[in-house]
Structure 1
Amino acid sequence: MKITKVVQQKNDKNRFSLFSGDEYVGSATAENLSPYGYGEFEISDADFKKLMDQDDLEKATNKCIRYLARAMKTKKEIIDYLYKNKVPVEIHDLIIERLEDLGLIDDKRYLEMYLDERFNYSTDGSLKIKNKLFLKGFSSAEVDPYLEEYRDKEEENLKDLMAATKKTSRGKDKNKMIRYLMNKGYPYPMISDLIGAYFTDD
């Protein structure tokens, strides 16, 4: 294939549009294009495919970086994002590897930060928190050891939640109260240990 024209893009000075005759055939970054130059050049079909594959990788990686700028994400969330944006499956692992090398994906750090935030700044119990983490790609084996570290904090949160509910209708009905607390994600054995004292205090 002969590339007859290389045009710098207006919205991104680091990218160039490639033309063969009057036909637009693709784009590439300055770095990926540098081996061929920025004027006319001949390129084999195989090398052109490699150039386009590399460009797909660059574009998808940069798109993920912009996505991550909004908030930290897990590896599974990034993969879901790649599927949603129809990024070729064969480059998913390369993108994940790049993002990990850049320190933009770190599931262990994400898990630690998420648990700290949920147990300290929400009223959710461990079962609800764990379920949300499942949706983010974490397994029981990864989450359970951390949950043990928060057991005392969870019990403290449960007591605070029960106290805050005292004046509501559910706070005066034991069964309603139990259902409410279970829906918030607190384990039944923990609720059972505290519920008796709660209603005795009334």
Structure 2
Amino acid sequence: MTKISRITTQQKAKQRYNIYLTDDKSSEYYGFSVDQSVLVEFQLRKGMELSSSMIATIEQKDSVYKSYTLAIRYLSYRMRTKKEIHNYLLKKEVDPNHIAIIIDKLIKENLIDDFQFAEMFVRTRINTSTKGPTIIKRELMEKGVPEHLIDRALQPYSFELQYEKVRKLAKKKLQQKKKDSFQKQLQSLQVFLQQKGFSSDVIQTVIDEYKDTKNDYAEWEAIVYHGKKLIKRHTSKQTGFELKQKVKEGLFRKGFSFDLICQFVDDYMEK
């Protein structure tokens, strides 16, 4: 029967211990190393007899504990989802069977909680970003949070909160697009807000509000700006009727009304 002949502390890792063994057929030799917690759990001590199956059990337990320590270190930087922990341990080449044991242990110790993670994630995104709920939901799903937990966590992102964010984004976006036709501005704004992940009802509410703010003078300045550019672009290849048609088509694609296009052509292309 194999016995423990000596237990020593590792120099570079004081919480780990080297276990030396001996048996009737050989002198002392190095057996394996264990963490302090495993040493205590199995009450390892000098003179203790160990069977080969017991040694295998101890080594497996220590392997799990070392991987558990890796997970704890990974969690020390920020909260993680089950999927993030799983992928991290796989990357570290931890036995998949051990990963399941470690994740169960972390859940029981309340060190992993996907719903709590989702709540915190949503709160942070609301406070520090311009992302809407659709984008946030996609990000959480990529992190492995179940959809039903995401939907619960997103409940505080109310219509009112979205509306306030969308109003601010819309104001800033429209300032950047002053040279576009009003219709083009609203179309670009709608696409922009959809890409930001806001709900369609919030977007439509804000778009409808802005429909009543059209400025005729700004619209005329915009068509003059784009119309002159179109005339300059096509003058070298077209003249007369064909040039007018090219300019009209270009202005129509840019969202200007037919009446305003005709007025521009009369004012700038009939001379």
Q: Could you say if the C-alpha distance between residues 150 and 69 of structure 1 is closer, same or farther in structure 2, counting changes exceeding 3 Å?
A: same
| TM-superposed deviation, 1:56 | 1.1
Counterpart code for 1:84: K
| TM-superposed deviation, 1:52 | 0.8
Output the CA distance in 1 between the equivalents of 2:77 and 2:153. 26
Q: Are 1:184 and 2:185 an aligned pair?
A: no
The answer for the alignment partner of 2:35 in structure 1 is: 29
Q: What SS does structure 2 have at the residue aligned with 1:196?
A: helix
Q: What SS does structure 2 have at the residue aligned with 1:58?
A: helix
Q: Could you say if the C-alpha distance between residues 118 and 199 of structure 1 is closer, same or farther in structure 2, counting changes exceeding 3 Å?
A: same
Please give the per-residue CA displacement for 1:44-69, whole angstroms capped at 9, x wherever unaligned.
22111111111111111111111111
| TM-superposed deviation, 1:182 | 1.5
Same amino acid, percent of matched pairs: 28
| TM-superposed deviation, 1:105 | 1.5
Output the CA distance in 2 between the equivalents of 1:88 and 1:143. 29
Q: Are 1:157 and 2:157 an aligned pair?
A: no
The answer for the alignment partner of 2:213 in structure 1 is: 201
The answer for the alignment partner of 1:174 in structure 2 is: 186
Report the TM-score, using the length of structure 1 for normalisation. Answer: 0.85
Higher relative contact order (CA 8 A, sep 6+): 1
Unaligned runs of 5+ in 1: none
Q: What SS does structure 2 have at the residue aligned with 1:127?
A: helix
The answer for the alignment partner of 2:10 in structure 1 is: 9
Q: Are 1:125 and 2:132 an aligned pair?
A: yes
- Aligned 8 A contact 2:82 2:114 in 1: yes
Unaligned runs of 5+ in 2: 22-26, 215-271
Q: What SS does structure 2 have at the residue aligned with 1:149?
A: coil
Output the CA distance in 1 between the equivalents of 2:69 and 2:132. 36
| TM-superposed deviation, 1:160 | 1.6
Q: Are 1:73 and 2:59 an aligned pair?
A: no
Please give the per-residue CA displacement for 1:116-162, whole angstroms capped at 9, x wherever unaligned.
11122210011000000101222332222343432221222111211
Counterpart code for 1:110: F
- Aligned 8 A contact 1:170 1:177 in 2: no
Output the CA distance in 2 between the equivalents of 1:80 and 1:119. 27
- Aligned 8 A contact 1:6 1:40 in 2: no
CA RMSD of aligned residues (A): 2.5
Counterpart code for 1:12: A
Structure 1 range deviating more: 75-84 or 123-132: 75-84
- Aligned 8 A contact 1:162 1:171 in 2: no
Q: Could you say if the C-alpha distance between residues 13 and 194 of structure 1 is closer, same or farther in structure 2, counting changes exceeding 3 Å?
A: same
- Aligned 8 A contact 2:132 2:197 in 1: yes
Q: What SS does structure 1 have at the residue aligned with 2:8?
A: strand
Q: Could you say if the C-alpha distance between residues 67 and 49 of structure 1 is closer, same or farther in structure 2, counting changes exceeding 3 Å?
A: same
